[in-house]
Amino acid sequence: MDSLTTSKVEQNGLQTAYCITTFTTKRSIERNESGAISITSGVGYVNCREMFSTDAVSQEHRGRVEAVKGFRHLKVKQKLVFIIVLLLYLFSLFCNLTIMLLIITQQLLHKPMFYILFSLPLNDLIGISSILPRVLADIVTQTHSVYYPTCVFQAFLCHMYGGGVLFILAAMSIDRYLAICKPLQYPSIMTPFTLCVIISVAWGLDLALILSLFALHSRVTKCKAYIQNVYCDNPSILLLSCGEDLTVNYIYGLAITAVMQIICVGIQLFSYIKIIIICVSNRQSDTRSKAVNTCVAQLVTFFLFEFIGTFVILSYRFENLPPNAQKLCGMMIYLILPIVNPIIYGMKTKDILTAFMVVLKKKITFK
């Protein structure tokens, strides 16, 4: 197993060179004609960039994460992995964009339910696009290097996606509750203003909580330059700190996770319990069937998200799990739902399937 160490080489007491290297054996130091420093060991060598002061190195490390822990030992299967990941990404892009375009262009889908649903494929695109392009670039280049601001932005998008899933599903459950439990009042309650408020609150709460989470990073000084994950997230970035007390950051992170779960799960439990009571008490089988079908997709997405999230957390507790398998498990929450959700909603939502078939027939007829 290669060990990652930081080497420091001093020349004439004035110039200092830093590098990240896997060598721990004796080194010999040489300077070539261009002035670059090389560290040679019994195994190989690594070139170090020359810095003219310790402060310069500090500034460099603040602006750049030198290494992100990518997938290792993929040289033989690199092309296969790249092709599979690229196809999954393109499939997700196509399916989610298709649903969004259908909702925008098809009059059949111009209903409150689908305006709220529009946020789900949008959020899925945020989630999968925050991870896969970076992974694809790392597979090709094998550099595993990223600028610190880019790393923070990726982490921000990842956490926005996770919170967005919960808040959007909660908003959709409110719409289903009003439509099924209060069908006569539904048109007067679910006005364009109410619809805008529900969507704005879902996105606004998510944005406010995640922004405040990352605002706490301003109190942390970055000294280290190695992310212990295949992508950047809040815990990984905090581990780059200089050893400050991070209790506030961790407590706040756990607190907003608990708040999101309590609010969103509570709303969904209330809505679906009320819907189940209405379905049981209603003697018309067609009404019950229609009510259940409109909720199945949301329930499948919710339980899938919670199951994958729990599995990912538990995977980090399995010490015997191979490193690449552990990294893949960590990415599952950003991969599975953005790929599966369009299929679930396309198959279980009759109006979306009908709208898609109408567009498809028009294209075929036009040709």
3-class SS letters over the chain: CCCCEEEEEEECCCEEEEEEECCCCCCEEEECCCCCEEEECCCCEEEEEEECCHHHHHHHHHHEECEECCCCCCCCCHHHHHHHHHHHHHHHHHHHHHHHHHHHHCHHHCCHHHHHHCHHHHHHHHHHHCCHHHHHHHHHHCCCCEEHHHHHHHHHHHHHHHHHHHHHHHHHHHHHHHHHHCCCCHHHHCCHHHHHHHHHHHHHHHHHHHHHHHHHHHHCCECCCEECCCCCCHHHHHCCECCCCCHHHHHHHHHHHHHHHHHHHHHHHHHHHHHHHHHHHCCCHHHHHHHHHHHHHHHHHHHHHHHHHHHHHHHCCCCCCCHHHHHHHHHHHHHHHHHHHHHHHHHHCHHHHHHHHHHHHHHHHHC
Whether 157 has a pLDDT exceeding 50, the answer reads yes
CATH class, range 78-366: mainly alpha
Interval 188-193 mean pLDDT:
92
pLDDT at 55: 39
Grade residue 363 by pLDDT with cuts at 50, 70 and 90.
confident
The CA–CA distances, whole Å, from 126 to 19, 63, 143, 312, 341 equal 34, 24, 24, 19, 14
Whether 181 has a pLDDT exceeding 50, the answer reads yes
Grade residue 33 by pLDDT with cuts at 50, 70 and 90.
low
Are the CB atoms for 211 and 153 separated by under 8 Å?
Answer: no
pLDDT at 73: 52
Highest mean pLDDT among 15-29, 35-49, 149-163, 223-237: 149-163
Please state the pTM of the whole predicted model: 0.78
pLDDT at 44: 37
Lowest average pLDDT, out of 3-17, 53-67, 207-221, 232-246, goes to: 3-17
Interval 48-66 mean pLDDT:
40
| pLDDT tens digits for range 286-318 | 666 666 777 888 888 889 998 888 887 777 666
Query: In sequence order, what are the residues at sequence separation of 6 or more whose Cβ sits closer than 8 angstroms to the Cβ of residue 147?
Result: 63, 64, 65
**11 or 201, higher pLDDT:** 201
Whether 338 has a pLDDT exceeding 70, the answer reads yes
Interval 57-72 mean pLDDT:
48
Lowest average pLDDT, out of 80-84, 94-98, 123-127, goes to: 80-84
Grade residue 281 by pLDDT with cuts at 50, 70 and 90.
confident
pLDDT at 269: 92
pLDDT at 8: 42
Per-chain mean pLDDT for the chain: 77
pLDDT at 72: 54
Grade residue 95 by pLDDT with cuts at 50, 70 and 90.
very high
Whether 74 has a pLDDT exceeding 70, the answer reads no
pLDDT at 284: 66
Structure tokens at 358: 């109408």
pLDDT at 61: 45
Delimit the domains of the chain by residue range.
Answer: 5-52, 78-366
